[in-house]
A and B are shown apart, each in its own frame.
Chain A
Amino acid sequence: MELGQVFSNLALGFSVAFSPLNLFWCFMGAFIGTAIGVLPGVGPVATMALLLPITYFLTPEGALIMLAGIYYGAQYGGSTTAILVNLPGEASSVVTALDGYQMARQGRAGPALAIAALGSFFAGTVATFAIVLAAPPLTKLAQQFAPADYFSLMTLGLVLAVVMASGSIVKAIGMIFLGMLLGLIGTDVNTGNTRFTFDIGDLFDGIGFVIVAMGLFGIGEVIKNLGDVERRDLVSSKISGLMPTWDDIKRSSMPVVRGTFLGGILGILPGGGAVLGSFASYALEKKMSPTPEKFGTGMIEAVAGPEAANNAAAQTSFIPMLTLGIPSNAVMAMMIGGMMIHGIVPGPQVMDQKPGLFWGMIVSMWLGNAMLVILNLPLIGIWVKMLLVPYRLLALAILFFCCIGVYSLNNLWSEALFMAMFGVLGYVFIRLGCEPAPLLLGYLLGPLMEVYMRRAMLLSRGDPMVFIERPLSLTFLLIALVALILVILPNIRKTREQAFQE
């Protein structure tokens, strides 16, 4: 692709992202994201689920810009509390807490925070450019996909989601099947028959994505967190001087570059994302360091690398969603949910049909990252104060947002009851050690896969060989197969478990 095209795309994106209203939603997203990133027990997935119904009232551009802001804002917020009070607000900042908190205890919280923010900003900038460069060719490729290729690609996506899921593989597989089954509830669009509706009229259109997501991630986690005894002792470490020393910058520059690269690649993979990126970067930095034994005692490399990696991964995980319309993790599933609320069918056609939305969102991500550096560093005192909000009040607010959100979608009171059921189910999954994210992906992809399977079978006149005769389709299926075999092999499984334990 020519350079001129890149610039005209970016110019279009800038004109959309810089409109006052979209700037405001970008800011709101980044702000809300930081706030929930700071609060333990409220994740980005749950928050995006909560805000999905509200985005119905915004323009499509504003909605997606805000939802994206929540995601990367949460990365920043999560690392702030990880460093200051050893409480990783998000799973992706667990690694940051290891050395970041040690730095804070040595009175070097300021440099740790500054390096984390600047490293993240660098990674966000690079990753945004990666999206700009990668999106058009990938979209071109995707436009040549036949139904069979799509079916196989989605199979690959689900398999990789299983491989990357922490915890039991068998359970993750089951959760995908369960999610796909739940996705089939309602009217079969091809034949008009209803499935699993129990003759309940409100189920004929299926169970809304928002209901499932808010039940599993919102209500379920409220139940769990209310059951845990609260222990949030605030170690108020004084933040004296944000400026990192020259030595800090020298030591963290290479880890930031490496983290950006590693996180960027892991982010594109289905099932990957910010968590994996930060863990992998920590492991890499430990390997590269001349003094690996010092990791865990406040090494700035161990803050810089993973922070850059998780932000890069957070950005590049948009690539498969934007170009192929396939969610690679639960957050991207939320983004797709946000698109569908506005009647936009995610897929390669979005870039051609809605270039303003597409490029505006990408540019807004870079803008949002810049806003976050400004938001975060001077306002750290305020964020830490937010930790003082007790969960007993937070729970009320979350519950109310879930209820009003679900009701505002269709003004159907029965949907609150469905959400209550998914809330219980979500809590059961937490107790049983089942990750709900694969279920959500299966729920979204199941009905789509059925559509593509039917089209493929129709085109091939009922010959199932079409899935292995098309080279693209065969490639996807082979990769999926290899990934599954690798995961089941005992020795790789052991290292995988180790990686998730660290």
Chain B
Amino acid sequence: MRVRAGQELATGLLFILIGAGALYIGADYPMGTPQRPGTGVLPKILSWCLIGTGGVLLAQAVVLEAGVFKRALPIVLGAALAAAAVAFGAPMVGAGPAWAVVPAVVGFLLLMDRLVPGTAWRPLIAVTLATVAFGLTIDGLGLIVAMVISLTICALGTPETRWPEYVGFLLIMIALAVGTFIWLLGMPIPVWPVKVPDWLKFLR
């Protein structure tokens, strides 16, 4: 029941956060007329529906475990403070207030781990970074570099990785990938590094 209550609470908060965010962003989308509903109609309806659903989940969580909010409170407060600090602080150093999303997401993950213990942090971080690394390297550094970097990060995500086996598997994967995607299917992807990736352009 404790886990169930934690799940309901975290899901409810997630729904409310996203719903409120969408409502805030979509506040000035035009509503149009009944005959020609505008851009803003469905976003507003859906945002309110999402917030309402989140509210029901919060209520369910309290019914399941009366003290569930007490468990959540420190992290919620901390994350809210951090997000507020970033939202006001970021413009001072020339960044947008949207960076407040970062502490909000981290805060939410910490909250989820507190309410539903057992988060697999290591694979979560490794697999996410591996995907991001692939995106950051493929365009410019080519298929092989992207594969080596991203798959190695992914392999770091589990203690079960056996490194000699991994190297062999990586080589087979690279051979298969170049063979199928480049030669057979003719995808327009560079195999070797060709240029500096776009996102690194600001360095020059």
State in angstroms the CA–CA spacing of A420 and B47 once bound together: 24
- Contacts A226-B157, A416-B131 known; A170 to B56 CB distance under 8 Å? yes
State in angstroms the CA–CA spacing of A457 and B132 once bound together: 43
Asked if A170 contacts B57 (CB within 8 A), the reply is yes
Which residues on the B side are within 8 Å of A457 (C-beta)?
34-37
Asked if B135 contacts A191 (CB within 8 A), the reply is no
Interface residue A461 (Cβ < 8 Å from any Cβ of B):
yes
Interface residue B92 (Cβ < 8 Å from any Cβ of A):
no
Interface residue B123 (Cβ < 8 Å from any Cβ of A):
yes
Which residues on the B side are within 8 Å of A397 (C-beta)?
173
B101 to chain A, nearest CB (A): 10
B189 to chain A, nearest CB (A): 7
State in angstroms the CA–CA spacing of A427 and B169 once bound together: 26
A-B contact count, CB below 8 Å? 208
State in angstroms the CA–CA spacing of A58 and B170 once bound together: 27
Asked if A413 contacts B197 (CB within 8 A), the reply is yes
Which residues on the B side are within 8 Å of A129 (C-beta)?
none
Which residues on the A side are within 8 Å of B119 (C-beta)?
431
Which residue in B120, B122, B138, B166 is a CB contact (below 8 Å) of A416? B138
If over half of B's interface residues share one DSSP class (helix, strand or loop), that class is named, otherwise mixed; here it is helix
Asked if B50 contacts A178 (CB within 8 A), the reply is yes
Interface residue A408 (Cβ < 8 Å from any Cβ of B):
yes
- Contacts A178-B50, A432-B116, A461-B35 known; A403 to B189 CB distance under 8 Å? no
Interface of A toward B, CB cutoff 8 Å: 54, 57, 168, 170-171, 173-174, 177-178, 180-181, 184, 188, 190-191, 193, 195-196, 198, 219, 222-224, 226-228, 230, 390-393, 395-397, 399-400, 402-404, 407-408, 411, 413-417, 419-420, 423-424, 427-428, 431-434, 446, 450, 453-454, 457-458, 461-464
Interface of B toward A, CB cutoff 8 Å: 4, 7-8, 10-11, 14-15, 18-19, 22, 25-26, 29-30, 32-39, 42-43, 46-47, 49-50, 53-54, 56-57, 60, 98, 105, 108-109, 112, 116, 118-120, 122-124, 126-128, 130-132, 134-136, 138-139, 143, 146-147, 150-151, 154-155, 157-158, 160-162, 165-166, 169-170, 173, 177, 181, 185, 187-189, 197-199
> Knowing that A196-B43, A400-B177 are A-B contacts, what are 9 other residue pairs whose CB atoms are under 8 Å apart, sorted by A's residue number?
A168-B8, A177-B49, A399-B154, A408-B187, A413-B136, A413-B138, A417-B132, A428-B14, A446-B46
